[in-house]
Amino acid sequence: MDVFKIMVENLEWINGEKDDPNDLCLHGDAVAKIGEEIFEYSATVSATALYLLKTLTQDHIINEENQMLPCCGHFMIPNDDLTNVDIYGCPNGIDWTVLHDGDNIKLITESGRETVISLDEYQKEVFRFADKIEDFYKECSPKNLSNEYERDCYYAFWNEWHKRRKE
């Protein structure tokens, strides 16, 4: 039985369309199964995927930063060399803690329940989810990046994504 699973359906852009070259953030109906708990949320799943990729090498503490299933991610700040990006949104969403414990990952939900999964199994599930999101982007039209700042944000997003996907 899977102790951690994250799925998404109804991938679309904020306007409800299956393609929008002006929207950088992908949305969908996400379902996360952590232990015996199931969390469902209509989230900005492009941000979720990047946050999950970050947790492969970094701990994430509940309610200290972004939510793992964020409502939105409408503001991005790239670092100077465009290798990482911080994504900010509203305070709405669903969150949980991700802690590294040797070769395992400990997931702690808002209820306080703890679930342990091997890092290898966790990585497989994160990669599966992230690959599904990236595949959707690849099927869509190229993005219209209207200014240098937007371009830098978008490039930093994908640069960090691909760096973390290879780790």
Give pLDDT, residue 1: 54
3-state secondary structure of 36: coil
Residue showing tokens 């978008």: 154
Give pLDDT, residue 108: 98
CA atoms within 13 A on the CB side of 59: 12
- In angstroms, rounded to a whole number, what is the distance separating the alpha carbons of residues 155 and 123? 24
Give pLDDT, residue 46: 97
- In angstroms, rounded to a whole number, what is the distance separating the alpha carbons of residues 90 and 81? 26
For 14-41, b/e burial (b = at least 16 CB within 10 A) is eeeeeebeebbbbbbebbbbbbeeebeb
Give pLDDT, residue 2: 84
What is the value of pTM for the model shown? 0.95
Walk along the chain (167 residues) in steps of 10 and give the mean pLDDT of each run: 92 96 96 98 98 98 94 93 94 97 97 97 98 98 95 98 92
HEC-encoded secondary structure of 72-128? CCCEEEECCCCCCEEEECCCCEECCEEEEECCEEEEECCCCCEEEEEHHHHHHHHHH
Give pLDDT, residue 74: 82
Residue showing tokens 């994250």: 6
